[in-house]
């Protein structure tokens, strides 16, 4: 394992050198490389990072204030919410260009897809609704009234329950995907921003940016069963603002972005104990794993870069400059 990792690293270094020497070689990157799409909130662009060379290989112009970003299930498109244009744009992965947009409702920020990739659920911060969109027909097919300032979105692994968090109401709303009715509301700490299920559906994690905690919710009983708190010596409590959450497929390890604390907390997902804090860039927002889960990329909003974390070694190995105020990140196969 260790040897394999070292091999990888030397290969990586080699490629960085090659990039400097002749950039066209990047286009001939092997199939093992992935592409990370990073939304830059202020630049109105999406930076594309090659995870083999760890360089920005393309910068795509998008609409105003791009934030939430995800790959479609078929891997052909990247969806990016451009809040100030009140729409979600579709980037074609093959041509790396914006090809269409979706009727998302006002000020979309985060969204999630159903397992089949047919339906998109969008949080619209400005009118307290979750908009339901048919991805194939690209039309709006419904709305769900939720709390004030809907933000975080997640879908249960069995596809039956959609979670939406509302930032001023401070709740995780459980929405039945069949009836599109709210079936339960769970109070969490102030300004819940992000929701993530364990792959086996046994736990739902919700980060509270202002509350400074991550609530662990039992999705069956729909109650908060545990709260993860973060104590970083020398750092005032107000600076610890959990936002993005990433969990490994085996549900053993979770990574939590702590915003202006400039750190990623690594948490034992079984015991809910913090194992380690990794120093990254300023105001860390969101994250995405490479599909092989070897690396985790996190966006640093204020320092305008992306940190690369070696998941097994639990170390930051690289920092990549992107556009201004990077926010979201999605991973695609080239």
The residues that touch other proteins, with contacts defined as CB under 8 A, are 107, 125-126, 128, 147-149, 166-171, 173, 182, 185, 187, 190-191, 209-212, 236-239, 241, 260
| Strand duo 108-113 + 119-124: pairing | antiparallel
Nearest approach in angstroms of CB 87 to other proteins is: 17
Give me 273's structure tokens: 């104990």
Query: Position of tokens 């947009």?
Result: 101
Nearest approach in angstroms of CB 26 to other proteins is: 36
Q: Name the residue nearer to other proteins (CB basis): 77 or 129.
A: 129
Q: Name the residue nearer to other proteins (CB basis): 42 or 138.
A: 42
Give me 228's structure tokens: 């993860």
206 touches 165 (CB < 8 A)? yes
Nearest approach in angstroms of CB 295 to other proteins is: 30
Which three-class secondary structure state does DSSP give residue 8? helix
Q: Name the residue nearer to other proteins (CB basis): 157 or 260.
A: 260
Which helix (H) or strand (E) segment is 19 a member of?
helix 2-21
Q: Name the residue nearer to other proteins (CB basis): 134 or 176.
A: 176
CA distance 108 to 228: 28
How many CB atoms are located within 10 Å of the residue 225 CB?
12
Query: Position of tokens 């020497």?
Result: 21
Nearest approach in angstroms of CB 196 to other proteins is: 20
Nearest approach in angstroms of CB 148 to other proteins is: 5
208 touches 193 (CB < 8 A)? yes
Q: Name the residue nearer to other proteins (CB basis): 164 or 290.
A: 164
């Amino acid at each position: 394992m260790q040897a394999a990792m070292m091999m990888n690293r030397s290969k990586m270094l080699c490629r960085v050198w090659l990039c400097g020497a002749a950039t066209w070689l990047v286009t001939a990157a092997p199939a093992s490389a992935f592409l990370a799409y990073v939304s830059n909130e202020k630049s109105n662009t999406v930076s594309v990072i090659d995870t083999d060379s760890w360089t920005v290989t393309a910068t795509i112009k998008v609409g105003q204030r791009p934030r939430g970003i995800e790959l479609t299930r078929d891997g052909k498109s990247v969806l990016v919410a451009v809040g100030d244009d009140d729409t979600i744009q579709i980037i074609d992965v093959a041509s790396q260009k914006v090809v269409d947009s979706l009727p998302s409702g006002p000020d979309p920020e985060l969204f999630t897809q159903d397992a089949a990739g047919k339906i998109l659920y969008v949080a619209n911060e400005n009118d307290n609704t979750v908009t339901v969109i048919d991805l194939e027909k690209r039309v709006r097919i419904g709305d769900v009234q939720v709390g004030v300032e809907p933000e975080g979105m997640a879908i249960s692994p069995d596809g039956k329950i959609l979670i939406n968090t509302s930032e001023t109401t401070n709740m995780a709303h459980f929405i039945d995907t069949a009836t599109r009715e709210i079936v339960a509301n769970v109070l969490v700490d102030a300004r819940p921003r992000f929701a993530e299920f364990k792959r086996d559906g046994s736990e739902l994690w919700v980060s509270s940016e202002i509350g400074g905690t991550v609530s662990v919710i039992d999705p069956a009983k729909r109650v908060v069963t545990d709260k993860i708190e973060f104590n970083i010596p020398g750092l005032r409590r107000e600076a610890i603002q959990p936002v993005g959450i990433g969990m490994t497929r085996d549900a053993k390890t979770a990574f939590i972005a702590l915003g202006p604390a400039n750190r990623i907390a690594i948490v034992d997902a079984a015991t809910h104990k913090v194992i380690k804090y990794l120093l990254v860039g300023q105001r860390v927002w969101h994250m995405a794993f490479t599909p092989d889960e070897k690396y985790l990329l996190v966006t640093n909003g204020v320092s305008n870069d992306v940190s690369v974390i070696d998941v097994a070694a639990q170390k930051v190995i690289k920092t990549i400059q992107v556009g201004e105020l990077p926010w979201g990140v999605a991973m695609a196969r080239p």
